[in-house]
Amino acid sequence: MSYRVVVFAGRRACPRGLLAGNPAQTFEADGILNDTGADAQQFSLSSGRSTICAYDLDAETLVAAKVIRTRPGRDRLRLAASKEGSDSDVYVTATGYVGRDGDTPFSDAADQHIGTVTVLARSRGAPCPTRPPDPDRPGVFWDSIDGAHFSVDLTIVDALKVTREPRVCGYLTAPRRTLGYVRTRTVARAQERLATTASDSNGTGDAERTAGQIAAWILVGLVVAGIIAALWRAERSANDNSEGKPRPSPADDASQAVLADSPDLSPGYEFVQRRHDEEVAYAIQRAVGTTADVYRDRLRRNLEHQDGPDWLAAFNARRRADMLAKGHRPPAAYASLEPRAVLNCLAYDPAGQQLIGPDAVPAAQQLYGLANAAHHPDPDKPLTDADYQRARRLYSQITGYAPPFDTNRQE
């Protein structure tokens, strides 16, 4: 018997006959039963409840229905980094678990656990990239895995020549099915820092202590200069303050001076910080916009590849179906990839979840909730500075970038 499987988002009753154009439909596939009246189909479902409906293609009638609840996958990756003797290489052992391949099932289910482990070394202060690097790039090493529980050994050549205490970044990628397509996705990430041993530090300990003392004195000098500059600006502001505005405190000016003089702070993060006396809602919206800017172009390419020229209408249709399945009223359609639309896609749409790790999806959902709260403020539940601080932490969890220096935080 030839049949068709149709998957709908949420818990619902299956239509008695095949219906095209249902906005809640997320997957569709045809198949033929074998001599024993059985067949196997494999596809990925988003987290939550889904309804699977099977139809007889000849009669176009419903023959089976099932509601299932899915959870995030079990893909795991762990790294152990070490070095041997006086070599400049770093030896990495990658262990973990990889789930089944999202392609057509093989004859043996055990053969479907395939993937790739990729590693590279970064300097101590540099964060790991959010996406795996090009395997052909110098300094990047990889190995294939073909079992559910795996353990592979890789060598990062000359890693210690670049930095003495490298940060090892690892990525586990595997084919996964999303909305009918099979794509290679990052299913797990890990990182490990190679600490310096006592024997390595004997020859350089004195030099490091001297450098540390010099850096400490420079920092003290910068702080003193900042306080002096703050006092001078405060006195000048008092003389010129003819409009009766409150005078900025020396602590605020000192923190601004240290921020301006610090060589470790990137000017690109400045617009994420909450400005002095800025409303919390505006600061949260700017943090949301910064997060969206990181992913907007890649997200649009994913949506165009997946849904074609009408990708925005398809995205709005999936969002509407998901809201209706959860019992909510239909949402207003997005007219463009505005910041809240990008966050919604990262949090709930498979096209956006391909761009971030599984551990970042809950953070995207929380930041999307804060974005809505800032966009539609509730007088009975005003946003507080704690909400802004949470938005900063969520921005870091999603993008992998360190949160910017907060000029408003009072220690």
The residues, ordered by sequence, that sit 6+ positions from 340 with a Cβ below 8 Å of its Cβ are 288, 334, 368, 371, 372, 375
**CA separation, residue 178 to residues 110, 175, 309, 350 (Å):** 21, 10, 19, 7
pLDDT at 313: 92
pLDDT at 181: 65
Tell me which of 65-69, 91-95, 276-280, 291-295 is least confident: 276-280
- pLDDT score of 305 more than 80: yes
- pLDDT score of 340 more than 80: yes
Query: With contact defined as beta carbons under 8 Å apart, do 390 and 400 qualify?
Result: no
pLDDT at 366: 92
Residue 288's CB is within 10 A of a number of other CB atoms, namely 26
Enumerate domains of the chain plus CATH numbers. 2-70 (no CATH), 76-198 (2.60.40), 205-264 (no CATH), 269-399 (no CATH)
Residue 224's pLDDT band, with cuts at 50, 70 and 90, is confident
Largest CA distance in the chain: 94
Tell me which of 88-102, 149-163, 356-370, 391-405 is least confident: 391-405
Q: Which two tokens stand for residue 268?
A: 């690109």
- pLDDT score of 245 more than 60: no
**Beta-strand runs (E) in 83-237:** 90-97, 115-122, 140-145, 149-156, 167-178, 181-193
Query: With contact defined as beta carbons under 8 Å apart, do 346 and 242 qualify?
Result: no
pLDDT at 261: 39
Cα 64 from Cα 239, distance rounded (Å): 82
pLDDT at 79: 92
Tell me how far apart the terminal alpha carbons of the chain are, to the nearest angstrom. 70
Residue 392's pLDDT band, with cuts at 50, 70 and 90, is confident
* Burial profile 73-112: b = 16 or more Cβ within 10 angstroms, e = fewer: bebbbebebebeeeeebbbbebebbbbbbbeeeeeeeeeb
Cα 351 from Cα 8, distance rounded (Å): 17
3-class DSSP state of 88 = coil
Average of per-residue pLDDT across 19-39: 80
pLDDT at 152: 92
Residue 252's pLDDT band, with cuts at 50, 70 and 90, is very low
The residues, ordered by sequence, that sit 6+ positions from 357 with a Cβ below 8 Å of its Cβ are 130, 186, 188, 189
133 conformational bin, left if phi > 0, alpha if psi -120 to 50, beta if neither: beta
3-class DSSP state of 378 = coil
Which residue in 81, 126, 69, 102 sits closest to 187, CA to CA?
102
DSSP 232-249: HHHHHHHHH--S-PPPPP
Average of per-residue pLDDT across 240-249: 46
Is the pLDDT higher at 73 or at 25? 25
Percent of the chain's residues with pLDDT above 70: 76
- pLDDT score of 302 more than 80: yes
- Dump pLDDT digits (tens) for 30-60: 888 888 888 877 665 666 788 999 999 888 8
Mean of per-residue pLDDT scores for the chain = 78
Residue 322's pLDDT band, with cuts at 50, 70 and 90, is confident
Report for 155-169, 176-190, 223-237: range of highest mean pLDDT: 155-169
Percent of the chain's residues with pLDDT above 90: 17
The residues, ordered by sequence, that sit 6+ positions from 347 with a Cβ below 8 Å of its Cβ are 361, 364, 365, 367, 368
Cα 169 from Cα 91, distance rounded (Å): 13
The residues, ordered by sequence, that sit 6+ positions from 392 with a Cβ below 8 Å of its Cβ are 272, 287, 403, 404, 406
Is the pLDDT higher at 379 or at 333? 333
Residue 26's CB is within 10 A of a number of other CB atoms, namely 23
Average of per-residue pLDDT across 370-378: 85
Q: Which helix (H) or strand (E) holds 215?
A: helix 205-240
Torsion, Cα of 276, 280, 283, 288 (10° steps): 170
pLDDT at 379: 79
- Dump pLDDT digits (tens) for 187-214: 899 999 876 554 444 444 555 666 777 8
Q: Which two tokens stand for residue 405?
A: 């220096």
Average of per-residue pLDDT across 10-30: 80
pLDDT at 403: 64
Average of per-residue pLDDT across 359-376: 88
Tell me which of 77-86, 100-109, 372-381 is least confident: 100-109
Q: How many CA atoms lie within 13 A of 146 on its CB side?
A: 3
Tell me which of 15-24, 26-35, 232-241, 319-328 is least confident: 232-241
